[in-house]
Structure 1
Amino acid sequence: MFENDALRLFVTVAESGSFTEAAARLNYTQSAVSRRIAALEQRSGGALFDRLPRGVRLNPAGRTLHRHALEVLDRLARAERELAVLHAGLGGLLHVGAFATANISLVPGALRALRDARPEVEVVAAEGTTDTLMRRLSDGALDLAVVSDYPSGLPRADGVTTTVLCEDELCVALPRGHRLAGTGRIDLRELRDEAWLQSAYGDRPTMLADACVRAGFSPRKIIRIAEWTGKFGYVAAGLGVALVPSLAARAVPGTLAVCRLTDPALRRTLHVALPSAPLPAALELRDLLRAAVDREE
């Protein structure tokens, strides 16, 4: 209903108490100020000022509009400042997504480094599957995401670019007292009689199933537990073993042993996904993620 310039003029007249003074402050003519205030009063449905022998004074309607005008102009000014900072890469909101195991150590470490380097950047974190994260990037809801090509490849998303971040080796979690817990790399065939903890449901092929086929056997038993904490509990109780991404190794409790496997195909590739026009802060976070990977290697 009201133009921003008209509200600024109205506030200036209210603060100065004079059309003439407002005109001087804003480099308008006095007649231009009078016309614009008259137009604003017409749109408001009535007078906003009491005309005095010397100057003007807000009437009740004017005081009401003045209160709201100050709020509107303040919010617009803050929006302009935040946008300027955001586009300059100096701060603002940064929406970051990652899949679950990337959020155990890799992403939090990079976000801590970003906070130290750019405390004015406020991160909004989200967790989800790769499909969901890529879709949210395409929709503009995320500014960066760490995604994986497991289990069904990296999905395409309009307006999203991806670069390889690292490979994530899959290991096996065993109880500390397991006969193989103290050995080096384990051949999957040595675990053919074990029950396996697995979170995937339905008939979708899994990396474990493919690896077992290559090793010449089928898992004796699959126990389906969705959350990592539950899987670790079952392994600790000696009820089965579980594949664990190296990304999740720091979350494995001390009651378990994490051992590497001989099958070179038991790995997945991590990618950094960005919109086609990424924010400067997103590019800085991408570089910090790469640096974190380099330190681990």
Structure 2
Amino acid sequence: MFENEALRLLVAVAECGSFTQAADRLNYTQSSVSRRIAALEQRAGGPLFDRLPRGVRLNPAGRALHRHATEVLDRLARAERELAVLHAGQGGLLHVGAFATANISLVPAALRALRDARPGIEAVPAEGPTDVLMGMLVDGALDVAVLSDYPYGLPPADGVTTTVLCEDELYVALPRGHRLAGAEPVDLGELSEESWIQSAYGDRPTMFAEACARAGFSPRKVIRIAEWSGKFGYVAAGLGVALVPSLAARAVPGTLVLCRLTDPALHRTLHVALPDAPLPAALHLRDLLRTAADGP
């Protein structure tokens, strides 16, 4: 109903107590101020100022509108400041998505470096599988995400650009008393009689299933456990074995042993995904993620 410039004019006239002084402050002519205030009063449904012999003052209706005008203008000023630091990459919210094992060390290291370099940026983390994170990027709910092509490959998405971050080797986790716990590397075929602890669901082909086929077997039993702590617990209890990415190595309990595998195809590729028009802060975090992935 009320234009921002009209509200600024109302505030200026109220502070100056004069159309003429308000005109000087805002670089208007006195007649222009009078016309604009008259138009504002028409929109407001009645006078907003008492006209005095020398100057003007707000009447009750004017005081009511003035209160709202100062609140609106203050909010707009704060929004302008927030947008300025956001577009400069120096502040604002940054919504960051990552899958579970990327949140063990890779993403936290990059976010710590971001906090140290640009303390005005507030990271808002989100965790989920790659397909969910990609959907959040498409919907605008994320500004940057770390994705994995394991186990189903990287889903395509319009309006999102992905770049390779690093390669992540896959190990097999065995209980310490396992017959192969001291052997490296382990051929996948030697584990053909084991139960496998996995979180992948559905009938889509996976890299793991393809690797098993290359080794000449199909897993005799798959136990579906989503959380890594649960997977580790099942392996430690001798109920099965599990593939574990190197990113998760520091979270593996001492009751388990990680062994390399002979199949060179058993690795995953990590990607950084950004909207086609990314925030400067998202680009900076992408660079910090690359540094964190390269390691010390």
TM-score (structure 2 length as normaliser)? 0.94
Aligned ranges 1:76-91 → 2 under 5 Å: 76-91=76-91
Counterpart Cα distance in 2 of 1:154 and 1:179 = 35
Counterpart Cα distance in 2 of 1:224 and 1:155 = 22
Counterpart Cα distance in 2 of 1:234 and 1:149 = 25
1:75 is matched with 75
Structure 1 stretches lacking a partner, 5+ long: none
2:218 is matched with 218
Counterpart Cα distance in 2 of 1:14 and 1:137 = 47
Counterpart Cα distance in 2 of 1:137 and 1:93 = 15
Q: Secondary structure at the match of 2:295?
A: helix
Counterpart Cα distance in 2 of 1:196 and 1:155 = 25
Counterpart Cα distance in 2 of 1:151 and 1:243 = 11
Residue 167 of structure 1, CA deviation:
0.9
* Contact 2:104 2:251 (8 Å CA) reproduced: yes
1:167 is matched with 167
Structure 2 stretches lacking a partner, 5+ long: none
Identity of aligned residues (%): 83
1:12 is matched with 12
2:102 is matched with 102
Residue 142 of structure 1, CA deviation:
2.1
1:130 is matched with 130
Residue 17 of structure 1, CA deviation:
1.6
* Contact 2:149 2:268 (8 Å CA) reproduced: yes
Question: RMSD between aligned alpha carbons?
Answer: 1.6
2:232 is matched with 232
Q: What is the aligned residue count?
A: 296
Aligned ranges 1:140-289 → 2 under 5 Å: 140-289=140-289
Q: Secondary structure at the match of 1:233?
A: helix
Q: Secondary structure at the match of 1:253?
A: coil
TM-score (structure 1 length as normaliser)? 0.94
Q: Secondary structure at the match of 1:223?
A: strand
* Contact 2:152 2:207 (8 Å CA) reproduced: no
Amino acid across the alignment from 1:106: L
Counterpart Cα distance in 1 of 2:264 and 2:279 = 37
